[in-house]
Amino acid sequence: MTTTSPASTIDLYSDESVLEPYENYRVLRGQGPAVWLDQYGVWAVPRYREVYDALHDHETFSSASGVGLSDELNRVMAGGTIASDPPAHDDLRRVLGRQLTPKALRQHQEFVRAKAAKLVDELIERGSFDAVPHFAQWFPVSLVPDLLGWAESDHTKLLDWAAAGFNALGPMNERTLAGMPVLRSLWGYLDRIATERDLREGSWGANLAAAVDAGEIPAERLPTLLGDFLVPSLDTTVSALASTLWLFGTHPEQWDRVRADHSLIPNAFNEVVRLETPARGFCRLVTADHDLGGVTLPAGSRVFLLYASANRDELRWDDPDTFDAGRRDAAGHLAFGHGIHGCVGQGLARLEAHALLAELAAKVRRIEVAEPTWRRHNTIRGIAALPTTLHR
C-alpha cells in the first residue's frame, strides 16, 4: 500500500516486542493517531482518543468480519458476541449478559468471597509459591467451569484452550499455528456439549441452551456462545491477577495505601489493568473512508485498536507509566474495551479480583515477589512465572 500517512516497520509480534512492548507503543503514539504497519497490512491505532472513538462507532469500525489479524481464523470466529455487529450482536449479548449483570453476579458474592478467603489462608500457610498457577490461574479455573455447569475439570486443558483462542487473534505466526490443534479440540468439545447438553441445570451454560430452545438465539450459535463464556473469562483474568501481585509486590508503598483503606480496592484494580492491560487490543474493519485524528483510513482496511498503548497515552494520563493505586481517573481505562463491545464478563473479573484483594489486604502485610518470567503470546500480556511469598 502507498500512503503519505505515518508508516512503521515495527513488528509488534516479535519476541522482543511481546516481552517488552511499551517502548514500541510509545514510538507508535509519537508517529500519529493511526500508523500503517507494513508487515501486517493493518493500521495500528495507539492513542487513547482515537481508540475510544472507534470503540464507540461500530458502524464505521465493524467487528462482524472478526477482530483478529488473520482472515482465515476471523472467518471461523465470526458470529459470536465479540465478532458481530447489531442487530445480531444485541440479541446475542442480551442472552449472554443475563448471567453477568451486577444483580445476577451478586448471588455469587459470598461463594467467591469464601473461596478467596480459603485460597489466601492456604497460600499464607504455604509460604513461598508460584503466583501464576497457585493464585492467578487457580482462582478463575476453580470458578468458571462450575458457573458454566461443565463436567470438564482438566484445568490444564481449559487454560490451553483459552490461550489458543487468544493467540489466534494475532497473525498466522508460529504461536497461532502451534495452537491450531488445541483450538480444534476446543471446537470439538463445544460442539459436543452443545449437542449433548451435558450442562448442570441452572448453570450459565444450561441457561444459554434454554435460550436456544426458546428461539431467542439460533442453535448453531450455542457452541460459539459457550466459548464466549470460557475463553475471555480465563486468560485475561489470569493476567490481571498475576499482575496485581507483581505490581503490589514491587510497589510496597501502594500496598500500604490499600491495606490502610480498603475502599481503594476497586480503583487499585482499575489501575492494575490500566498499567498492565491483559489484552493488547483487537481489530476492526473500516466500512467507509474515515478520517481518524487527521489520518484517512480507506474503506476495507483493517485497524488494530491498541488498548494497552491507549492506556499509557501521555495525552490522556498524567505520569502514565507510574503505578498509582489512588489514581483519580483510573476507571477511564480501556482494558475491558468500551462501547457496545465492552467486555461482557468484566463484572465477574472484578468480583474475583476485589474478593482476593480484600482478603490479601486484611491478612497480608507485605507481598514479596521475585523477577517475573513473561509469556510469549500474541494477544495476552501475561506473566508465566512469579515466585511469591506472602508475609503476615
pLDDT band at 77 (very low <50, low <70, confident <90, very high): confident
Predicted TM-score (pTM) of the model is: 0.95
Whether 3 shows a pLDDT value over 60: the answer reads no
Q: Which residue in 238, 275, 277 sits closest to 135, CA to CA?
A: 238
Helix ranges (H only) for the chain are 15-19, 22-31, 48-55, 71-77, 88-97, 102-106, 109-126, 131, 138-148, 155-167, 174-196, 204-213, 222-250, 252-260, 265-275, 307-310, 346-363
Give the chain's domains with CATH numbers.
7-391 (1.10.630.10)
d(CA 191, CA 269): 35
Tell me which of 155-164, 295-304, 326-335 is least confident.
155-164
Question: What is the residue-averaged pLDDT of the chain?
Answer: 93
For the record, the C-alpha cell of 201 comes out as 441445570
pLDDT tens sequence across 222-254: 888 888 888 888 999 999 999 999 999 999 999
| N residues, the chain | 392
Best CA proximity match to 278, nearest among 249, 242, 246: 242
Residue 279 contacts residue 307 (beta carbons within 8 Å)? yes
Q: Spell out the residues 6+ positions from residue 326 whose beta carbon is closer than 8 angstroms to its own.
A: 257, 264, 267, 268
Please give the Cα distance from 135 to 119 (Å, whole number).
8
